[in-house]
Amino acid sequence: MTATVSVPPVADIARRDIPAFVRAGERMMWIGGRQVAAVSGRTLPNTDPATEETLASVPRGEAADVDAAVKAARAAFTDPGWADMSPDRRGRILHQIADVIEEHADELATIDSVNMGAPRMLTAHMLAEASEVFRYYAGWPTKLSGVSVPAGKDRMAYTRKEPLGVVGIIWGWNGPMGQLPGKLAPALAAGNTVVLKPAETASLSTLRLAELLAGTDLPAGVVNVVTGLGAEAGQALVAHPGVAKIAFTGSTATGKLVQRQATDTLKRTTLELGGKSPSVVFADADLDVAVRGVAAGFLGNAGQACVAGSRVFVEESIREEFVEKLLKTMEAFTPGDPLTQGTLVGPLSTKAQFDRVSSYLDIAREEGANVVTGGGRFGDHGYFFAPTLLDDVRPGMRVVREEIFGPVGVITTFTGIDDAIAQANDTDYGLAASVWTTNLTTAHRMAAAIEAGTVWINTWAEMSTGNLPFGGYKQSGLGREGGLEGLDTYTQVKTVRIAL
């Protein structure tokens, strides 16, 4: 077992003002514009990770529920109320959704903070970005055009961009309202209908959003929500022959299962998967800025981020100074109540996640890594884990190669730019990276050489509001979300040839 860190206990947070929605007993799924229970009648608890208290329960949907949702989505897809809607009208509805999100941003952000533990300042940022993503894609329905192609005398040829049909969306518990818009907004902008399957442990904000969408002009059945376990509802959604595409965010292991199962019906997939991202700090960097960025890179959201910069590489000549500054900076990341202003690190999302992170610290010690700070439970209740830094690590260690998904960073040194590139790329993943340097040549060379879908220079985790593509290299995923690249994954191209 992992040792308990000797630190002051987290303040009593059991008596907080939280949205009534999460205290309302059993919530319902949304299928065909109606709130429904699971066919089986079974439910799943959603828990507050800061207090370990059970919040509202959600339906434990299974294959029968997924089938009903897909049929409702298919009916909405072919109904003239959606299928024949003008592009301008569809864009206005996306703006309505953005308005609703803005109006209820405080509530939705608080629900996510209570339900999965992310600090309130982080979930508020996610909700601000969410409305902007919908506004960005609201401009696209009027611009989804094909092209006219020269075809010779007495011939005409052109292409059409058309929606795919029913899209299944499955995404992570580590930021529900941060991840969903990048999938839902382009899917709707392209004219698809959707079935949403949120994470079973963090479903409440999605159910509340569905309730809010019912008050917009979005036709019934265009957006459906089925809650339940990944192995039941999620698997049924991936396997359903009536689903044309799966957009998935989650672990690489689960993403591989999704991809394999999707091949049975040859449905399209976009997969945003795990990461073990490098943060590379050169000796010429502004160390004070770099230290803050690096700390936030592996401690933000308690390390529960696919882009977490959990592998820290520091140029050998500044190692001692950098580590000293980093340890000092980490003191500001003391775990606390996610709803308290100024909290930078909340609890891990579930007991299972707490146990997983704890097991990796046991592995780290067994492999010979040195725990510089942290290394175990923080406080005496809730799933809080102390911010942790490991050194004396080697490239082959599991804590260096595998995604821990907790507030744990590993630090090592490099001797020059070629060594930095080699070490940064020595991973099965390739989602993101950060480079800290004041040398423009170094910055551009690193940006070109690092095998990752996103490279940040002198910053970390700056996500776009929809206008830039995001995705991974190697085992960090397939396809892109965001921008025109993301929108294209929700369309198919039809060629038309006419003999005049």
How does pLDDT run across 29-74, given as a tens digit for each residue? 999 999 999 999 999 999 999 999 999 999 999 999 999 999 999 9
- Stretch 387-411: mean pLDDT: 98
Alpha-carbon gap, residue 162 to 498, rounded angstroms: 19
pLDDT given at position 465: 81
Provide the strand spans (E) within 316-414: 370-373, 388-391, 408-414
Query: Tens of pLDDT along 206-226?
Result: 999 999 999 999 999 999 999
Q: How confident is the model at residue 416 (pLDDT cuts 50, 70, 90)?
A: very high
pLDDT given at position 463: 85
- Stretch 164-185: mean pLDDT: 97
Cβ pair 203, 210 in contact under 8 A: no
CA distances (Å), origin 23, targets 47, 177, 215, 226, 379 = 11, 19, 22, 20, 25
pLDDT given at position 23: 84
| CA nearest neighbour of 302 among 349, 263, 258, 260 | 349
Sign of CA dihedral 68, 70, 73, 78: negative
Q: How confident is the model at residue 320 (pLDDT cuts 50, 70, 90)?
A: very high
Cα 161 vs. chain centroid, distance in angstroms? 28
For residue 355, the SS3 value is helix
Q: Is residue 24 over pLDDT 90?
A: no
Burial 299-323 (b: 16+ CB within 10 A, else e): bbbbbbbbbbbbbbbbbeebbeebb
Q: Tell me the average pLDDT of the chain.
A: 95
Alpha-carbon gap, residue 454 to 443, rounded angstroms: 13
- Stretch 114-122: mean pLDDT: 97
pLDDT given at position 464: 79
What is the end-to-end Cα distance of the chain in Å, rounded? 77
Q: Is residue 228 over pLDDT 90?
A: yes
Q: Which amino acid is at 401?
A: R
Give the active site residue among 132, 200, 272, 403. 272
DSSP designation for 470: B
Alpha-carbon gap, residue 466 to 182, rounded angstroms: 7
272 is catalytic: yes
Q: Is residue 9 over pLDDT 80?
A: no
Cβ pair 179, 127 in contact under 8 A: no
Q: How confident is the model at residue 15 (pLDDT cuts 50, 70, 90)?
A: low
Of all residues in the chain, what percent carry a pLDDT higher than 70?
Answer: 97
pLDDT given at position 2: 38
Alpha-carbon gap, residue 476 to 277, rounded angstroms: 10
Query: Tens of pLDDT along 341-377?
Result: 999 999 999 999 999 999 999 999 999 999 999 999 9
Q: What is the CB neighbour count within 10 angstroms for residue 6?
A: 7
Rg (CA), the chain: 23
Alpha-carbon gap, residue 23 to 57, rounded angstroms: 9
